[in-house]
Structure 1
Amino acid sequence: MTISTTTATSDNNFDYIIIGAGLAGLSLAVSLLKNKITGRKRILLLEKSQQQYQGRTWCFWENGADWWDSLVSKTWSIATFYEGTRQLAKELAPMKYKMVHSDDYRRYVFNILRKQQNIHLLSRDVVDCKDLGTTVAVHTEEGLFFAPLVFDSRFQLAELERHKGHILYQQFIGWFIKSEEPIFDPQKACLMDFRATQDTHVSFCYVLPKTAHEALVEFTIFSKQIYSDQYLQALLTTYIDEHIDTFSFNVLGKETGVIPMTDYAFGSPSNRIIPIGTAGGCSKPSSGYTFTFVQQHVKHIVQQLAQDRLPLPFHKLQAKRFLFYDRVMLRILKEFPEKGASLFFSMFHRNNANSMFKFLANQSTLWQEINIFRKLPVLFFLRMAWREIVRDK
């Protein structure tokens, strides 16, 4: 199916409509503009309220650089891991672990968008989208807009309530802290510290130092239910008391969030309404890391549009075996949360970082995956895998 659009000219007709100005919506908008073909199209970006966006950090690993590299506030070349009495330091080369703050990202992208006459930014609450055959009608509280293609980043956790498959929630609370003492090593990022109770849910903290005095300390859980911010804050303060060697610190900022970890089939009944971001399944079911997968999907979308082809939903771009791996891991984390810490630590301990990052990015080869799996409890994983196979029948 080709799109065959001509540049829209009427006030409420566009070539592309993007709903939501979060990571996915802004990444798509700026990438469309950077392409010499799609950059000439008439684009509408709808956001419910630009003032209510909750700032957060996006972290990811990368080999090389891309257009967002000027926005990276910190990189690390060494990652550390803790589990019980075990600790591990891994050289990440040729990869680097990077941090971008959403405020910097949004400021940069909006500065570009506001200079372009062919992109329109409107604060509107979208009520509904309907495929009319050759175009999509986007209903807002203040009127209708039309486009042959709509990219929709709206997602409500309530959509998962009827899902009968695996669902966990990745919840996190992070504090940007500044210590009076120089207690951090700014060259090392602690990606997973499992020195916390693992009985009812997988729990870990990561510590990302920006300087010897400042770091983002973030506590994360993978759980069957959504807990209150107060519950997460208690876990975070306990971790700081027990593992951060400081007598006095100031909290410079905070961030919280909930990311679904699920085998739910994200999609749309219409080929002309393409879900993006978390709504499009760009959060890896077993680990998250949304930034990496959003950029993969955006790159595909722009390439397809530049060739007048219909972009595919994100899940159709991924080899099916990766979803199966995620389903097996979700089953383990849901039914045996006490095993999660040991499994994650062992995967990084027994494999080089480059192989692990490729695996987590769904870019590994089958041989690399076999090499990773054979170093884990094979019989246990085979039993969990068999239960997933039987579930499909």
Structure 2
Amino acid sequence: MEEWTVRVEHCDTKKEKPDTDHLEFGRSFTDHMFVMDYSEPLGWHDARIVPYQKLTIDPSAMAFHYGQTVFEGMKAYYTENGEIQLFRPDKNLARLNHSNDRLCIPPVDEEFVLKAIKQLIYTDKEWIPKAEGTSLYIRPFIISTEPYLGVAPSHHYKLIVILSPVGAYYKEGINPVKIAVENHYVRAVKGGTGEAKTGGNYASSLKAQEMVSKQGYSQVLWLDGVEKKYIEEVGSMNVFFKINGEVVTPALNGSILSGVTRDSVIELLKYWDVPVTERRISMEELYQAYVDGQLEEAFGTGTAAVISPIGELAWEGKKLEVNNGKIGETAKRLYDTMSGIQYGKVEDPFGWIVKVKETEPVK
């Protein structure tokens, strides 16, 4: 888009805001949303902020039939001095375009979309909760809307951004979770869509998640889809292990999503001169490290939790208790620092924070 133009239509009646003390993730949505359309030969056009509303889409829209969709997830935070800020939104939008490329969706202008998101947030700034640990979740997504049942890339799309106030992830302190290693189902394979943030990856994970939940486990540790030997992700998060003083995380291989929090953790560890390596790591190697007393910490990383410590791993009838079931020193330091930067309590030496300020009215 050549010009910064967004049409704004304010809602006539504002919704009742949810109780800040009882916020459920993804259950409440703000008064407005951002929408932009794509068609050939116009390209992306008609950028607008409108009242949050239901969509009218043809039943034959290709998104319903062939899953040509992508999405992102990030947050807006209120600081103690009343500022609104985002955490590395440029990385999320760059990843959105990476997903677009994999799904044959036309790229968006990242700078323009970020400006639109900032304006949307400012429009609904009253929805940003201010209680400790709360935030405003931001969900940009693109769906293919062409009414056609042929298997081919669509010629019509919608980019939509919706906002949802969310509660503190750790209301009662950070408690390490129990994880089951999945040996049957797989999340993704190299050459597939694992490195894109698309709905099908999450749909394919539900069966294994449902099964382990009945056994008392919080998440699934995914292994590679070919040999079912090498560790990839934990639930919908990237995963890290501290082994004999070195932090190890699976290398990006085409089936692992490149997490913004993952990248931030690696940068922080290097900044602190903590040894960190991206490489293949098998469950056999991890188990041997546990047997040798060298598995010191394990944790997942993602937008929702930032850091999610792992207290126990179940694998082939064996249980690996990590750090006596308690959060490790490295994971705690990472969580405190990262969340501190996000809420403006800790200095940001990397330039990760983007402020959300009032923009000039769009005519």
TM bucket normalised to smaller: under 0.3
TM-score, scaled to structure 2: 0.26
TM-score, scaled to structure 1: 0.24
Higher percent of residues as helix:
1
